[in-house]
Structure 1
Amino acid sequence: MQPSIIIADDHPLILKGLHDFLIEKKFDIIDSATDGKAAFELILKHRPDIAILDIRMPLMTGLEIAKACKVKGINTKIAVITFEKSAELYYEAINLGVYGYILKEFALVEIEKCIKSILLDTPYFSPELMKHLESLNIPKGFELLTGTEKRIIELISKNQTAAEIAELQEVSIRTIEKHRSNIIKKLNLTHKPNTLLIWAKENQDFF
């Protein structure tokens, strides 16, 4: 029995091409949408096995939909398609439990492989994306950082003090110090003075 699938993309030609290809391959496409809000409503209505979503859509992005599904405990497995080879988007997708990340230029080549991999409960990520990420020499531990922690590191790299960062983030200095401690632990740094500042400056291109 074929899995039930919903697809969504705000580019009509890409959506039609994806739809026609999957129909030709005998997949069960139960519905489609051209914006994120409509896509999420379809997921709530149909509870499909798989949702294939454009990352960048009006009203809700593919990753916002993945987050909403996670919060609501919806078991639909999400695969995203995009032109972006972004480390930040990739790690955000990983943290949200996304099952597939496909580059649009390879979508028709890889989408069937992705679906079959998902059915085996194995995440699928575009080989070209992984090759690109490896070439970036992303610092160890980077994927563990939250968005807030990355923002704090960015501010540290600009020589902002804990007090200045706290004011910008509208939180207490104690909260910032707790974030700093968590960052140091995730990056496996020593607690020596200026260790995090040095790391932030050496890796500021990633923020």
Structure 2
Amino acid sequence: MNTSIVIADDHPIILHGLSDFLSSKGYNIVGTAGDGNSAYNLIVKLKPEIAILDIRMPHQTGLEIAEACKKNDLPTKIILITFDKEEELYDEALAYNVYGYILKEFAVEEIETCIEHVMNGKPYFSKEIASHLNSSTIKHKPEVLNTLTKSELRIIKLICNKKTSQEIADELSISIRTVDKHRSNIVKKLELDNKPASLSIWANTNKAYF
């Protein structure tokens, strides 16, 4: 359980509370920070396995740090903690390959489960968030997979691996227009809404079937 972790939050009570809690559970807290710049510098210097970041911090937000980590191919997996339930933030988190997204009011209850998922390469998002966005977004109906073509199943698997449409097109040697057409067909077959995050949420929720 000696997972190396950096924690950043501009609220001292949350920062120290979470740090003390995880330390007591055997996790290796290698650094803490109260602002985004300090947090990113720690990530670059220490390359922890996980960084637990508040979304809203001075100088750099948790999302901006996640974007920078993705751009610079840093190995650290990002978990965001927040009071915010705005859908736009959730969509950005998915776009920047964020592995975990937890509401602060459930942080102590969910953080260990989240870390376990992330260390096994599996995304974890608070159930409360998915419910808040749209309960119809997540369809626990694996039987509908029988209606998908082999190409569509391959694309869902790549979505589970956090591939963008351009990356999927490159890997399958097809045009991005073809990828978008497949995604549109998949959304219709799964009876999802047209929100940008819907297919990603469904794919990761049902990742075990791919």
TM-score range, shorter chain: 0.5 to 0.7
Counterpart position of 1:128: 128
Q: Which runs of 5+ in 2 are unaligned?
A: 139-176, 185-194, 196-210
Change (3 A) 1:82 1:186: farther
Q: Map Cα deviations across residues 18-46 of structure 1 (whole Å, 9 max, x no partner).
A: 01110111110001000000000000110
Counterpart position of 1:153: none
Q: CA deviation at 1:115?
A: 0.3
After superposition, where does 1:117-196 map in structure 2 within 5 Å?
Answer: 117-135=117-135
After superposition, where does 1:1-207 map in structure 2 within 5 Å?
Answer: 2-135=2-135
Change (3 A) 1:187 1:108: same
Name the larger-Rg structure.
Answer: 1
SS at match of 1:23: helix
Q: Map Cα deviations across residues 118-151 of structure 1 (whole Å, 9 max, x no partner).
A: 011000000111111124879xxxxxxxxxxxxx
SS at match of 2:51: strand
Change (3 A) 1:113 1:41: same
CA distance in 1, matches of 2:95, 2:133: 16
Q: Map Cα deviations across residues 139-177 of structure 1 (whole Å, 9 max, x no partner).
A: xxxxxxxxxxxxxxxxxxxxxxxxxxxxxxxxxxxxxxx
Could you tell me the percent identity over the aligned residues?
56
Q: CA deviation at 1:187?
A: 9.3
CA distance in 2, matches of 1:76, 1:186: 31
Q: CA deviation at 1:3?
A: 1.3
What root-mean-square deviation, in Å, do the aligned CA atoms of Structure 1 and Structure 2 show?
2.4
Counterpart position of 1:196: none
Structure-1-length-normalised TM-score: 0.66
CA distance in 1, matches of 2:80, 2:24: 21
Structure-2-length-normalised TM-score: 0.65
CA distance in 2, matches of 1:136, 1:60: 33
SS at match of 1:74: coil
Counterpart position of 1:166: none
Q: CA deviation at 1:5?
A: 0.3
Counterpart position of 2:142: none
**Paired residue total:** 148
Q: Which runs of 5+ in 1 are unaligned?
A: 139-180, 189-202
SS at match of 2:75: coil
CA distance in 2, matches of 1:45, 1:53: 16
Q: Map Cα deviations across residues 82-108 of structure 1 (whole Å, 9 max, x no partner).
A: 001111100110011000000000000
CA distance in 2, matches of 1:136, 1:81: 24
The AA in structure 1 aligned to 2:132 is H
